[in-house]
Structure 1
Amino acid sequence: MKLAFVISPQALLTGIALPVEMFYAASRFRVKRRAAPTLSIQLVGDSLQTQRAVGGLNIQADHTFAQADDADLIFVPPMWGTPWPVISQGDALQRWLVEQYQNGARLAATGTGVGHLARAGLLDGRVATTHWYYLDRFRQRYPEVKFEGHHFVTHEDGLYCAGSINAQTDLVLFLIEQTFGEDALALVERQFTHELKRTFSTPYFEPGGAVHHDEGVSLVQSWLRQHLTDDISLPQLARLLDQSERNFSRRFQAATGESPMAYVLRMRLDSARELLRDTNLRVAEVGEACGFRTAAYFGRVFRERLSMTPGEYRKMVRSKLFTAG
């Protein structure tokens, strides 16, 4: 997997260094398991001259836009202070982003860094977000963009926008899980975010939280969040939309990328991880609170998905051992 991080004036280095370290930790973990996509990281800028970043720290690109290899995923960091001069002078960066996107790269911009995607025209007609302080001004400057004010992270057509560094962290966790799997995600959560309670597990929010615009499926997802401890069956979910099981399953899969029952299981495991991390409930009580029928079933599914028992996971996320192994 080829990652590229944009080096630009006024960049907040947290928007670069933190995802670099998180992806690196995930990749090293998978290498030890002998099941990792090769990870390469480029710092890309207008020139190879040293840039003075926020707080007086220096950073230097290792490739210019002309030299950089095609990337799979590109991060555009937020900027400190007024972003308009940097955005208006970012023609070279914005042309490169358009070219990379046309070549298949996904783009992830945070805070005011979203302005580069907006000025390049990449977000026209698409959903986006940015830092709350600049949201109204972004709406005025880029009226063709569907700026979303209620959600911290948006995604459409391979274009991810995060409103803040904290939101970017959740987005990075999502991308790590998609790339390296749940066990690598668990390691990264231990190293970087074990003090934090993740607020979502998919990058694009509708009210209640999923990656699509299907209102009916969103209603089902909202219902599931309120009934996670209940016995849930496919016929029951299909009846919520007055559809056959087959048609409902196809519709749900098209909207979320998962089958309905796989989605339910993932939600239950996400909830279980939070309870193991943030409460002192016994493991059996955690399983029951998340809708698992028996403690044995909970333990078996958890171990299959995360390569560790619930008790081992709790010990891991509370240990605060910041090691890569």
Structure 2
Amino acid sequence: MKLAFVISPQSLLTGIALPVEMFYAASRHRVRRRSNTPLSIQLVGETLQPQRAVGGLNVQADHTFAQADKADLVFVPPMWGTPWPVISQSQPMQSWLVEQYQQGARLAATGTGVGHLAQAGLLDSRVATTHWYYLDRFRQRYPQVNFEGHHFVTHEDGLYCAGSINAQTDLVLFLIEQTFGEEALALVERQFMHELKRTFSTPYYEPGGAVHHDEGVSLVQSWVRQHLTDDITLANLAGLVDQSARNFSRRFQAATGESPMAYVLRLRLDSARELLRDTNLTVAEVGEACGFRTAAYFGRVFRERLSMTPGEYRKMVRSKLFAAG
């Protein structure tokens, strides 16, 4: 996994440092598990001279745009203050972003950093968002972009936009889960922001409201979300679209990248984490409310996926909540 962070004047260092640390934590976990998903990180700028960031701090690129390797994922941080001068004077950066995107990189911009993607023409006729304070001005300046004002994160065609640092954090967690898996996600949450846990299966808005275009699979997913407490079987799900279990499994996997029952289990675990955090239900009651057949099965699956018991999870998240208060 090759990450790149662009450096420009007025950059908010939080938009760089926090994703770097979160991805690094996830990658180190996978190294301990002997995964074959190594991580490399580069800071890329027009010059190798230090750039003045917020508060007078300096940040220095380790590669120029001409020297940088092809990245898998490029982050464009937000800027402090009026962004228009920096956006209008950053044509080399914007050209490099276009080049990276054309070579297959995904791009993730936050807040006013979205202006670089818009200025480069990458967001033309695509959905996007930005910080609420600048949203109307971005709409006026870039009328060809479909700015979405009701969602904090958007995605279309490998272009992610986050409205704020908090929204970027949600997006980073989602990307970590997609790259390194649920266990690494749980580790990062424990270290950084357990008290901010949300459901990351679809943390963003994108055209059609889903990550695929198979209406039958979307119907099944909607049904699952409404029937988590039921005894769900593969045959049940296949019957919703009048297919054999084997053919439906292939169809679901092609649309979502995971098997139908893995999807069911993931949603049940997401729901269980929320109930453990937000309610006083017993662990057994939480398991039952999320569709696990027995408390023992719930505890075993939870520990296998998250490397801790449900009780340990509840104790940790609540201790952080009270400590944060």
Q: TM-score, normalised by structure 1?
A: 0.87
Partner secondary structure for residue 194 of structure 2: coil
Does residue 123 (structure 1) correspond to residue 123 (structure 2)? The answer is yes
Note if 1:182 corresponds to 2:185. Answer: no
SS at match of 2:196: coil
CA shift in 2, pair 1:233/1:133, >3 Å: farther
Encode CA deviations 1:29-50: one digit per residue, 9 max, x unaligned: 2222222522221111111122
Q: Which runs of 5+ in 2 are unaligned?
A: 321-325
SS at match of 2:125: coil
Task: Tell me, in whole angstroms, the C-alpha distance in 2 between the residues paired with 1:317 and 1:177.
Answer: 19
The structure-2 alpha-carbon separation of the partners of 1:244 and 1:71, relative to structure 1 and needing over 3 Å to count, comes to same
Residue pair 2:156, 2:206 contacting (<8 A) in 1 also: no
State the SS of the aligned residue for 1:161. Answer: strand
Q: CA deviation at 1:213?
A: 5.0
The corresponding residue for 2:323 is: none
Deviations 1:196-238 (A, max 9, x none): 1314333433699642455665454444333322333445545
1:150–1:213 Cα change, 3 Å? farther
Q: Is the 8 A contact 1:287 1:294 kept in 2?
A: yes
- For residues 300 and 211 of structure 1, the distance between their equivalents in structure 2, rounded to whole angstroms, comes to 30
Does structure 1 conserve the Cα–Cα contact (< 8 Å) formed by 2:154 and 2:206? Answer: no
Q: Which moved more, 1:205-214 or 1:298-307?
A: 205-214
Matched, 1:114 2:114: yes
The 5 Å alignment of 1:265-276 reads 265-276=265-276
8 Å contact from structure 2 (residues 123, 145) kept in 1: yes
Q: Contact 1:208–1:222 at 8 Å: present in 2 too?
A: no
CA contact (8 A) 1:27 1:36 kept: no
Asked whether the 8 Å contact 1:208–1:221 carries over to 2, the reply is no
- Alignment of structure 1 residues 261-300 onto 2, 5 Å: 261-300=261-300
- Measure how far apart 1:117 and its partner are: 1.1
Identical positions, percent: 89
**Which blocks of at least 5 consecutive residues in structure 1 are unaligned?**
321-325
Structure 1 pair 253–131 and aligned structure 2 pair: CA distance change class (3 A):
farther
Question: Conserved in 2, the CA contact under 8 Å of 1:208 and 1:218?
Answer: no
> Which amino acid is the alignment partner of residue 127 of structure 1?
V
Deviation at 1:97, TM superposition (A): 0.6
Q: Which moved more, 1:225-234 or 1:235-244?
A: 235-244
Shift of residue 23, structure 1, vs aligned partner:
0.8
Q: Would you say the 8 A contact 1:78–1:112 is kept in 2?
A: yes
Alignment partners' CA distance in 2, 1:312 and 1:266: 19
| 2:184 aligned counterpart, secondary structure | helix
When the two chains are superposed, the root-mean-square deviation of aligned CA atoms in Å is 2.6
Whether contact under 8 Å (1:205, 1:211) holds in the other structure is no
Structure 1 segment 233-252 matched on structure 2, within 5 A: 233-234=233-234, 236-237=236-237, 252=252
Report how many residues are paired. Answer: 320
Deviation of the 1:173 alpha carbon? 0.7
In structure 2, the partner of 1:323 is: none
Stretch deviating more after TM superposition (220-229 or 294-303): 220-229
The offset of 1:13, in angstroms, is 1.0
Question: What's the counterpart of residue 158 of structure 1?
Answer: 158
Structure 2 counterpart of 1:29, one-letter code: H
How far off its partner does 1:248 sit? 5.6
* Counterparts in 2 of 1:239 and 1:145: CA distance versus 1, 3 Å: farther
Partner of 2:198: 198
Preserved CA contact (<8 Å) 1:153 1:160: yes
Alignment of 1:47-66 (within 5 A): 47-66=47-66
Matched residue, 1:8: 8
| 2-structure distance, mates of 1:66, 1:161 | 25
Note closer, same or farther for the CA distance 1:235–1:33 as it changes in structure 2 (3 Å cut): closer
Counterpart check, 1:68 vs 2:59: no
The change in CA–CA distance for 1:140 and 1:214 in structure 2 (over 3 A counts) is farther
Residue 100 of structure 1 corresponds to which residue in structure 2?
Answer: 100
Q: Shift in Å at residue 129 of structure 1?
A: 1.8
- Assess if the C-alpha contact under 8 Å between 2:171 and 2:203 holds in 1: yes
Residue pair 1:204, 1:212 contacting (<8 A) in 2 also: no
